[in-house]
Amino acid sequence: MSVHQLLYLIKESFRTIKRHKGVTAISIIIMSLTLLILAVFLLVTDNMLMFMSQAREEMRIYVYLEDSLDRSVIEDYHRRILSMLEVEQVVFISKEEALLEFREELGEESDLLDALDTNPLPASFRIALKSAYKDKNKIELFASKVGGLEGVEEVRYGKDFLEKFSTIMKGFLYVDAFIGIVVILSTIFIISNAVRLSVVSRKRSIEILKLVGATNRFITTPFIFEGALQGGIASFIAMAMLFFIFLVGVKFLPELSFFSPEKAFAFILLCVLIGSAGSFTALRRFLRA
């Protein structure tokens, strides 16, 4: 295809959009509503995944030590734990620091602690694991290893929570992937139908073009370009609508966050691709017949 032919076809696509304002507007509306559903799904998934990774990120293992342990033993343990393969970071919290933290947590009610004669809180190590080891089984293994050290009173890592969390996460990922496949397939289906609408409305023109010797590429190029353009515009509208929905949603769930600019851009790009792919498939079926 020559350059001036391509330029002609691009100009032609804009002219066609102008000429067929009605059909174009309808298919853009259909597309933006469909893409809105896809966008809502993606935003919910994105937030859930972010929440999960944050929860994983913040997970710590607490190793409580007996009061009788010597300072030198504690320092030795500190070094040994730090050198373990799974460990990202170890913080030692002395009895005094633990009390101070507890005081802060209690806030206004911290005077309750004044009634105590001795500090009941044990010293501890707070351990962050490398993310590759934040798996339920690996954590258990690690916990039993550390728990076996002489003078360790208890190892805590929210076993119940972790179990529940990993089941919920697995369930969520399955359901999410299923919904995702359904939503994406119906998006492509609806969009390729919307495109077919505009193909059928231009059936006569296509026949005439074939009659005067237009190649399939000459016929399909403007449609693919239009599909891409419509997909882009529709995804922009869908993004704007999603943002309004987000503004309402964030009042109820302040933890919600919107797409990062990169993700929003990727979404628009994806819609441009879906739009042109929809055009292409709708036309291919039509040109073969």
Residue ranges binding another protein (CB under 8 A): 1-2, 4-5, 8, 19, 204-205, 207-216, 218
* CA dist 270 → 43, 227, 236, 277, 280 (Å): 15, 12, 12, 10, 15
Q: Please identify, using beta-carbon distances, which residue of 4 and 251 lies nearer to another protein.
A: 4
To another protein, the closest distance from the beta carbon of 198 in angstroms equals 13
Contacts of 1 (CB under 8 A, 6+ apart): 217, 218, 221
Q: Please identify, using beta-carbon distances, which residue of 16 and 235 lies nearer to another protein.
A: 16
Q: Please identify, using beta-carbon distances, which residue of 20 and 103 lies nearer to another protein.
A: 20
Residue that is written with structure tokens 């990922």 in the block: 173
CB-side neighbour CA atoms (13 Å) of 162 = 17
Please, what is the end-to-end C-alpha distance for the chain in angstroms? 24
To another protein, the closest distance from the beta carbon of 7 in angstroms equals 9
Q: Please identify, using beta-carbon distances, which residue of 175 and 287 lies nearer to another protein.
A: 287
Contact 209, 287 (CB under 8 A): no
How far apart are the C-alpha atoms of 289 and 287, rounded to whole Å?
Answer: 5
To another protein, the closest distance from the beta carbon of 280 in angstroms equals 17
To another protein, the closest distance from the beta carbon of 193 in angstroms equals 23
Q: Please identify, using beta-carbon distances, which residue of 162 and 206 lies nearer to another protein.
A: 206
Q: Please identify, using beta-carbon distances, which residue of 177 and 214 lies nearer to another protein.
A: 214
To another protein, the closest distance from the beta carbon of 225 in angstroms equals 16
To another protein, the closest distance from the beta carbon of 224 in angstroms equals 17
Sheet hosting strand 152-156, strand order edge to edge = 87-93, 124-129, 61-65, 152-156
To another protein, the closest distance from the beta carbon of 48 in angstroms equals 49
Q: Please identify, using beta-carbon distances, which residue of 144 and 215 lies nearer to another protein.
A: 215
DSSP 117: S
Sign of CA dihedral 164, 169, 175, 176: positive
The amino acid present at 8, given as its one-letter code, is Y
Contact 125, 92 (CB under 8 A): yes
